[in-house]
Amino acid sequence: MKKYFTKIKSNTSLVFLFLTFTCLVIAFINPKFIMKKDITNYIFVVDITQSMLTQDTKINGEKVSRLKYAKNTLHKVLEQLPCKTKVSIGMFAGVSVAATYTPIEICENFSAVNETVERLDWRSVWAGNTRLRASMINLARLIRSFPESAQVVYFTDGEEAPFLHAFNTEDLNQFQGANNWLFVGIGSDVGTPIPKYDNKNQLIGYWSNESFALQPGVAQISAQNAGGRDNNVSSASYDRYLSRLDEEYLKSLAQEIKGDYVNGSDIKGILSAMKKQPSAWRDDTKVQLRNIFSFFALIFFIIQFLTIDRLKLLANIKYGKSKNTN
């Protein structure tokens, strides 16, 4: 009986030694294979126009501006992004979007990205108008200038200023820049006055109804004066323009460009909608197998000794029983 177990022990030992040696050889050769990998890049665009200063949202029960609420929501979204995700932070004003940088890896640059979000300020505005619809084309052009493409998550209240009319509504029928862009609505559906601040961030009054009215023939004047700030304020409380989150407009805009819309109060909804967005692009990734085969070599080497010790123990038990029987 002892000879029988000795033979098994010898054969088992050879098998695991062979497997260990084979894995080490393969690990030394280090074979590779190409795997298609979806690359997830985002540009998070935040509306920094003055309507975003409207205080109709709350954080922990405290009334805050839409801009502060958007930044708080964006911080929460960034916390949930997995490593290897690349992000850029963009600002919208006038008819265009400016990116602070091309997409960078989130985990390596987490503090820097969050600092960028925290520093978003309405005083960075370079234009007086708010042409959200027109910004779509300029945003698509911006993304094409990136080294790598990116998906869009757009935080805005949907406010167009001046109001859209037939002569100032951008035609998006031929728009091809978007691919499941996501609009995130910020604000309340309750009409609230828009505060107007000076360059020192001091309140000087509230936007008037006239500020948002665009009469035929004024479009050219507005375009020429896009870089200036209008310091005119409402003359009385009844003349204050009441701003609200325009969800219907954002939903229709999203539908028009084959995108999606989520209310900014729904963090889970935002993350879920982002997961549905197709990857920005696909990359060929070389997967090295050295570590995998080195691991298996170690496992087989350990199993070899465990098996030998167990067989020795089993042989001794069997041999002992045989002696006792005799």
Claim to verify: residue 8 and residue 152 sit in the same structural domain: no
Claim to verify: residue 65 and residue 163 sit in the same structural domain: yes
Side-chain-side CA neighbours of residue 274 (13 Å):
26
pLDDT grade, residue 222 (50/70/90)? Answer: very low
In a domain, 295, yes or no: no
In a domain, 289, yes or no: no
SS3 of residue 36 by DSSP: strand
List pLDDT tens digits, range 157-170: 998 876 666 566 77
Claim to verify: residue 19 and residue 123 sit in the same structural domain: no
**pLDDT over 70 percentage in the chain:** 74
For residue 19, the enclosing domain spans: 2-31+305-320
Claim to verify: residue 314 and residue 275 sit in the same structural domain: no
Claim to verify: residue 21 and residue 148 sit in the same structural domain: no
Q: What is the pLDDT of residue 104?
A: 95
Higher pLDDT: 217 or 54? It is 54
Claim to verify: residue 51 and residue 187 sit in the same structural domain: yes
In a domain, 94, yes or no: yes
List pLDDT tens digits, range 92-121: 988 889 999 999 999 999 999 999 999 999
Which spans in 40-170 are helix H? Answer: 66-79, 110-118, 132-144
Pairing of strands 281-288, 32-39: antiparallel
Claim to verify: residue 14 and residue 66 sit in the same structural domain: no
Claim to verify: residue 70 and residue 22 sit in the same structural domain: no
Domain count, the chain: 2
In a domain, 249, yes or no: yes
Residue 160's H or E segment, with its range, is none
In a domain, 182, yes or no: yes
Specify the DSSP class assigned to residue 208.
B
Claim to verify: residue 144 and residue 23 sit in the same structural domain: no
| CATH code assigned at 88 | 3.40.50.410
Tokens 């910004």 sit on residue: 135
List pLDDT tens digits, range 143-158: 999 988 899 999 999 9
Q: How far is CA 141 from CA 99, 137, 149, 176, 243, in A?
A: 12, 6, 11, 11, 30
**27, pLDDT greater than 70:** yes
Contact 24, 296 (CB under 8 A): no
In a domain, 300, yes or no: no
pTM over 0.85: no
Dist. CA 229–CA 124, nearest whole Å = 12
**290, pLDDT greater than 50:** yes
Q: Which amino acid is at 17?
A: L
Residue 2's H or E segment, with its range, is helix 2-29
In a domain, 292, yes or no: no
Claim to verify: residue 233 and residue 151 sit in the same structural domain: yes
Claim to verify: residue 309 and residue 181 sit in the same structural domain: no
Claim to verify: residue 18 and residue 140 sit in the same structural domain: no
